[in-house]
Structure 1
Amino acid sequence: MSRRSSGKPVCGKRLGLTQAAVAEAMGITRRAVIYYEQGARLIPKVVTLACKALEAERTA
């Protein structure tokens, strides 16, 4: 099930990354990151999982 964001960063702010850096790391466009953060589009489960993996990688 996908979830709708309510203006929260996809995961970059917690890691100190820009939207462009998050997009590049996850293989999506910066525009997609913006849509998810604004709540304009549902965040696909695969993006949520990629974010968790990115956070784990960066904090390990």
Structure 2
Amino acid sequence: MRMPRIYATDWRIQLDSGSRQRIVNKILDTLKRHLPISGPEGLLELNNIAVRFEDKVYTAATSL
């Protein structure tokens, strides 16, 4: 069975979860530098924002 052409050339499937987590961590570091946080709840919220942002960029990306 042949894979659809879109999957055969999609670079995103080659990224492992570690690569995506490193990107989330970089986004989180940037958010922490620019936004005030208070306590673990604030840090959790910033992490959630970073994860959602990375996912939107990853989903929208078309080329490497």
User: Normalised by the size of structure 2, how large is the TM-score?
Assistant: 0.34
More helix by share: 2
Q: Which is higher, the Rg of structure 1 or of structure 2?
A: 2
More strand by share: 1
User: Normalised by the size of structure 1, how large is the TM-score?
Assistant: 0.36
Question: Greater relative contact order: 1 or 2 (C-alpha under 8 angstroms, separation 6 or more)?
Answer: 1
